[in-house]
Amino acid sequence: MNKTIALLLATSALTLPAAAEMLDVEKDELTFGFIKLTDMAPLAVAYEMGYFEDEGLFVTLEAQANWKVLLDGVIGGQLDGAHMLAGQPLAATIGFGTEAHIITPFSMDLNGNGITVSNEIWDQMKPNIPVGEDGKPVHPISAAALKPIVDSYRAEGKPFNMGMVFPVSTHNYELRYWLAAGGIKPGYYSPEDVTGQIDAEVLLSVTPPPQMPATLEAGTIYGYCVGEPWNQQAVFMGIGVPVITDYELWKNNPEKVFGLSAAFQEENPNTTVAITKALIRAAMWLDENDNANREEAVEILSRSEYVGADYDVIANSMTGTFEYEKGDKREVPDFNVFFRYNATYPYYSDAVWYLTQMRRWGQIAEAKPDSWYDEVAKSVYRPDIYLVAAESLIDDGYATEADFDFETDGYKEPTPAGDIIDGIPYDGRQPNAYLESLPIGLKGDQKVVGNQVEG
């Protein structure tokens, strides 16, 4: 047995089964929540392929109205766990919004989001975007192409509104990152003003994912950042154009997680390992043999009890392509990644990135030392549980040691400049140095006071 796992077992009160022997789960009837997005796929697949049952778990999956309802369900115990925004367990644990200690032993996917603008805004952006020899726009598209339009709206006294799905969502931080990389200020939060619109040139507000296309069509917002299939839905409806995927924004960025309360894990340690095992198997199935199972996965997700969008809309991105302007369909084999590149491992460095974005935009009001970021990451992201599940899958014959990152200390190697749209590398071990390197956003001892940044 791997020495790291042996040490974890000795110190964690988690036990491994004998080969192919079921864990002695403390709770076998479970209810999990999700939002209707394609990246809930590991839950649907684990259910439909019988992986939960293989672990002695009888699971009910319930779609939730929005991310707040979902989080409240986990905190209140109506849900035993859920498909969550990666920022949710972190924000809850540090007390931004509802305070509760939420953990994650499993990262659900990489990439999977896009930023879409209305047809009208796209037409205004196009003169600012280089064109390739094939006559199509050159990607990735910088928000610098949007800046003149935003400036003209501001000059006319008109607000430029865009949508994201939740204040601590990847989508909020990705949209802010894209705007700031193009020289556009997306606004700050403060303890007194949680709109996130302080000193903003673009006003961001919350819209639930399935409502994004209708809100865009109504003209309430001019663009949005959301997960699939709601960018491709805008293309199919003929109402908008996705301008960038998050794969182009930050190659292989972390997305959703599976979250559950720390109290649930403490009371049900074997059950938590069993859940993690089933989800890992589902992620492996989704990516195996170069995405050979994706068409079957799309059929599952298109059912009304899961995502409930048309098969063709979901397939547009889930099967390794992505359509920008109508007819401009490109190969993006890693648009949705569920297991490759250690996608399921809950890396501390992923947690730290979310925390840096919370600090960057004022959701974390005061400066924190690097050690604080590390401590919070380790209280929420639980690779110890993940690795016990991985070792158990190896013992069961469902996986091999090569499938998992047993050698890491929990931090990825720094993301190189070439993998991020603004050319600024990211090192999770140095959060404050990273914040200093970003031209727009809070850094050092700066704080938001009233309507301005001080310090």
What's residue 20's pLDDT? 55
Q: Which CATH superfamily is domain 3-111+254-403 in?
A: Periplasmic binding protein-like II (3.40.190.10)
Give the mean model confidence (pLDDT) for residues 158-169: 97
The helix (run of H) or strand (run of E) holding residue 323 is strand 321-323
What's residue 84's pLDDT? 98
Q: Is the pLDDT of residue 328 over 90?
A: yes
Give the mean model confidence (pLDDT) for residues 58-84: 97
How many alpha carbons lie under 13 Å from residue 333 in its C-beta half-sphere? 7
| pLDDT tens-digit series, residues 173-186 | 999 999 999 999 99
Q: Specify whether the CB–CB gap between 228 and 317 falls below 8 A.
A: yes
For residues 118 and 106, what is the distance between their CA atoms, to the nearest angstrom?
35
Q: Is the pLDDT of residue 5 over 60?
A: no
pLDDT over 70, % of the chain = 96
Q: Specify whether the CB–CB gap between 204 and 176 falls below 8 A.
A: yes
pLDDT over 90, % of the chain = 94
* Phi and psi angles of residue 273, each rounded to the nearest 5 degrees, phi first: -65, -40
Please give the structure tokens belonging to residue 162.
């865009």
Q: Specify whether the CB–CB gap between 38 and 114 falls below 8 A.
A: no
Q: Which CATH superfamily is domain 113-253 in?
A: Periplasmic binding protein-like II (3.40.190.10)
Helix ranges (DSSP H) in 194-268: 212-217, 230-237, 246-249, 262-267
For residues 118 and 348, what is the distance between their CA atoms, to the nearest angstrom?
36
Q: Is the pLDDT of residue 7 over 80?
A: no
Any idea where the domains of the chain sit in the sequence? 3-111+254-403, 113-253
Task: Name the maximum alpha-carbon separation found in the chain.
Answer: 70
- Please report, in angstroms and rounded to a whole number, the separation of the first and last CA atoms in the chain: 52
For residues 336 and 228, what is the distance between their CA atoms, to the nearest angstrom?
9
* 179 CB-contact burial (10 Å; exposed 0-12 / middle 13-18 / buried 19+): buried
Give the mean model confidence (pLDDT) for residues 278-306: 97
- Kindly report the pTM of this predicted structure: 0.94
| pLDDT tens-digit series, residues 338-391 | 999 999 999 999 999 999 999 999 999 999 999 999 999 999 999 999 999 999
Mean of per-residue pLDDT scores for the chain:
95
What's residue 9's pLDDT? 44
Domains 3-111+254-403 and 113-253 share a fold: yes
What's residue 21's pLDDT? 72
For residues 355 and 431, what is the distance between their CA atoms, to the nearest angstrom?
9
| pLDDT tens-digit series, residues 391-444 | 999 999 999 999 999 999 999 999 999 999 999 999 999 999 999 999 999 999
- Name the DSSP letter for residue 410: S
Give the mean model confidence (pLDDT) for residues 247-260: 97
Q: Could you tell me which of 318, 320, 323 has the C-alpha nearest to residue 307?
A: 318
Interhelix angle 348-360/370-380, rounded to 10 degrees, is 120
The 10 Å Cβ neighbour count of residue 278 is: 28
- Among 7-11, 83-87, 207-211, 254-258, the minimum mean pLDDT is found in 7-11
What's residue 433's pLDDT? 98
Output the CA torsion sign for 154, 159, 160, 164. positive
DSSP string over 100-143: --EEEEEE--EE-EEEEEEHHHHHHHGGGS-B-TTSSBPSSPPG
